[in-house]
């Protein structure tokens, strides 16, 4: 290990250690030997300034990425979350865009925050919104591409979705709480009575949009995302509709998806398809 790498690692240990404990004081004394006094400012003060600036910058990143979560928690709990998260998941990328990726997992596992699952759900919903906004651009198919398929290819046709399309599921009313906070209203009390599903995407106007999904809408969308074809999805809809109305419901929903810009391509087979995992949506 080079001397530079060793000093960099020691400096990171200093930044992440808790002020006042033995480890912090020990690594601080090591770092002071590598930091010179400058312009009348001691090495001790220079180290403290940098450490404070580092923590403040990471906290600002959490505040920016998770504005509604911050409002939901309030200042004291947010400060606790930011401090504990930064200590548990220190920044390891050059860009801060990924710094909060593990925040939902942290909130699900932390002994204090996991007592209130809606908090982790709020964090995950806001991560989904960021992923939708940052997703790549691509072609958006029109319903004419579906209509152009020969009749014999309709049963086997599959859909490819725009990269921004995401599914968010939870067992709380986290999205309802997010919506209330967004318009400066008090969030509703946590509710865990039933599972919920939401579709998120970025429209052609580049605005991030989302809408709730019923059980049948979720099954239809998730099935198509997994690579199931038109025939199998019509069969799936028989759980909610009769044989005459199931195909009509599927066609009406597909037409809406085309209008919303959710679909990037229509293909007549799925031999080249690898289904994404739910965690990547």
pLDDT digit string (tens) for 67-85? 999 999 999 999 999 999 9
Residue 133: pLDDT band (50, 70, 90) is very high
Cβ atoms of 65 and 126 within 8 Å: the answer is: yes
Is residue 210, in this structure, part of any structural domain at all? Answer: yes
> What's the confidence (pLDDT) of residue 186?
97
CA distance 123 to 38: 42
Is residue 47, in this structure, part of any structural domain at all? Answer: no
Looking at the structure of the chain, the number of domains it has is 1
Is residue 264, in this structure, part of any structural domain at all? Answer: yes
Q: 203-211: long-range contacts at Cβ-Cβ below 8 A with a sequence spacing of 24 or more? A: 203/260, 203/261, 204/140, 204/261, 208/129, 208/132, 208/133, 209/260, 210/129, 210/168, 210/175
CA distance 13 to 262: 45
Rounded to two decimals, the pTM is: 0.83
Residue 164, domain CATH: 3.90.930.50
Is residue 262, in this structure, part of any structural domain at all? Answer: yes
Is residue 193, in this structure, part of any structural domain at all? Answer: yes
Strands (DSSP E) contained in 74-190 are 158-161, 166-170
Domain that holds residue 213: 137-270
> What's the confidence (pLDDT) of residue 84?
94
CB-CB neighbours of 51 under 10 Å: 19
**120 phi and psi, to 5 degrees?**
-65, -35
If you ran DSSP here, which 8-state letter would residue 154 be given?
A: T
Is residue 86, in this structure, part of any structural domain at all? Answer: no
Is residue 22, in this structure, part of any structural domain at all? Answer: no
Is residue 245, in this structure, part of any structural domain at all? Answer: yes
């Amino acid at each position: 290990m080079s001397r530079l790498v060793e000093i960099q690692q020691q400096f990171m240990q200093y930044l992440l250690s808790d002020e006042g404990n033995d480890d912090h004081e020990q690594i601080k004394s090591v770092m002071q030997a590598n930091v010179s006094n400058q312009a009348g400012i001691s090495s001790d003060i220079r180290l403290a300034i940098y450490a404070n600036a580092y923590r403040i910058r990471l906290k600002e990143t959490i505040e920016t990425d998770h504005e509604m979560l911050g409002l939901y928690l309030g200042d004291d709990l947010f400060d606790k979350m930011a401090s504990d998260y930064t200590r548990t998941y220190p920044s390891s990328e050059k860009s801060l865009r990924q710094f909060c990726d593990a925040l939902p997992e942290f909130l699900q596992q932390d002994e204090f925050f996991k007592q209130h699952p809606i908090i982790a759900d709020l964090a995950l919903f806001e991560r989904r919104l960021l992923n939708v906004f940052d997703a790549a651009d691509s072609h958006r198919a029109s319903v004419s591409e579906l209509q152009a398929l020969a009749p014999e290819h309709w049963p086997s046709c599959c859909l490819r979705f725009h990269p921004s399309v995401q599914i968010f599921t939870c067992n709380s009313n986290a999205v309802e709480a997010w919506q209330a906070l967004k318009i400066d209203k008090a969030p509703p009390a946590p509710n865990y009575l039933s599972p919920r599903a939401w579709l998120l995407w970025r429209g052609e106007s580049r605005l991030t949009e989302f809408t709730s999904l019923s059980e049948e809408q979720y099954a239809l969308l998730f099935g198509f995302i997994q690579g199931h074809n038109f025939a199998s999805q019509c069969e799936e809809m028989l759980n909610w509709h009769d044989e005459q109305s199931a195909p009509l419901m599927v066609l009406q929903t597909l037409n809406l998806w085309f209008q919303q810009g959710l679909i990037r391509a229509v293909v007549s087979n799925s031999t080249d398809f690898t289904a994404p995992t739910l965690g990547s949506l």
